[in-house]
Amino acid sequence: MNKYLQDLIKLSKFDTSISMFEPKIENEKAKLATFIETAEAIKTSINNIYLEVDEIKSKRTKNNIHLAELKSKLEDIAKKNKDIQTEKELKALQLEEEIAKEQIAFANEEINRLDTLASSKEEELKELQVNLTEEEESIKEIQVAVDTTIEEINKERNVVYQERSELLEKFDNKILTFYEKIKRWAKDSAVVPVKKQACYGCYMKINDKTYAEVIKSEEIINCPHCGRILYKEDETEEA
């Protein structure tokens, strides 16, 4: 096989594997991101419930103040009772007392309702905190696994970079420029195998004459349709 073609195939394979490292790393990070998002959502819920509990507590305080006012009103009514002189005054005072008692009953009911609500919110908080702890433990575990995998990917990447730069040291400049020109639009498929007499970049069938030249591998052959560099893949390499 043409030496330049051999170098081009190697270089293209290095470049392809280099481009695949970043998505692999992103994929690892994405695994963690899902768990972090869930944990963040739980934190938001916890904060919202804290706000709701605060509101419930402030409503309860208002009701307590109101209750105290109503109780002192009842005491006033009891005092006034001694000074009553007419039937009309008695009826008015009785009505006032009735209303105050009704309001007290209502305030007590409201306080009970708020207490029940507050304790259900506390339960919800406890559950969410358990969930959050579990989620945070998972994050720690996954973080370790992800870090290890990323470290391995980076090691692999460094090896490929090293091999690539060694290859480039003895690379023909004109061939490199030629390759880079095609790579600009073809990205990682600048150098492609021919399979079933078709270019594996544009998937078009190539004519017999070009195909024969590709098989001979004496020269660098471009796909007549798309311009990518073609090579006949070794039987052993075919997957």
CB 66 within 8 A of CB 107: yes
According to the binding rule CB under 5 A, does residue 46 interact with Zn ion? Answer: no
Inter-residue contact 197 to 224 (CB < 8 Å) = no
Check binding of 225 to Zn ion (CB under 5 A): yes
Considering the complex, state which of residue 183 and residue 228 has its C-beta at the smaller distance from Zn ion.
228
The yes or no reply on residue 223 touching Zn ion (CB under 5 A) is yes
By beta-carbon proximity to Zn ion, the closer residue of 114 and 223 is 223
C-beta of 46 vs 198, nearer to Zn ion: 198
Among the listed ranges 100-108, 117-125, 136-144, 228-236, the one in contact with Zn ion (CB under 5 A) is 228-236
- For the range 144-151, what are the long-range contacts, defined as Cβ-Cβ under 8 Å and sequence gap of 24 or more? 146/28, 146/29, 146/31, 146/32, 149/28, 150/25, 150/28, 150/29
CA distances from 96 to 70, 106, 212 (A): 11, 15, 111
Q: Can residue 198 be called a binding residue for Zn ion (CB under 5 A)? A: no
CA angle 164, 166, 171 (to 5 degrees): 85
Measured from the CB atom, the residue of 101 and 225 that comes closer to Zn ion is 225
CB of 221 to Zn ion, least distance (A): 11
Note whether 214 binds Zn ion by CB under 5 A.
no
Among 9, 146, 199, 214, binds Zn ion (CB under 5 A): 199
Give the relative orientation of helices 87-169 and 3-82 as an angle to the nearest 10 degrees. 170
Contact call for residue 60 and Zn ion (CB under 5 A): no
Member of 202, 211, 217, 220 binding Zn ion (CB under 5 A)? 202
The span of 5-13, 50-58, 183-191, 227-235 binding Zn ion (CB under 5 A) equals: 227-235
Candidate ranges 81-89, 117-125, 141-149, 225-233; the one touching Zn ion (CB under 5 A): 225-233
- Tell me the closest approach of the beta carbon of residue 4 to Zn ion, in angstroms: 19
List residues near Zn ion by CB under 5 A. 199, 201-202, 223, 225-226, 228
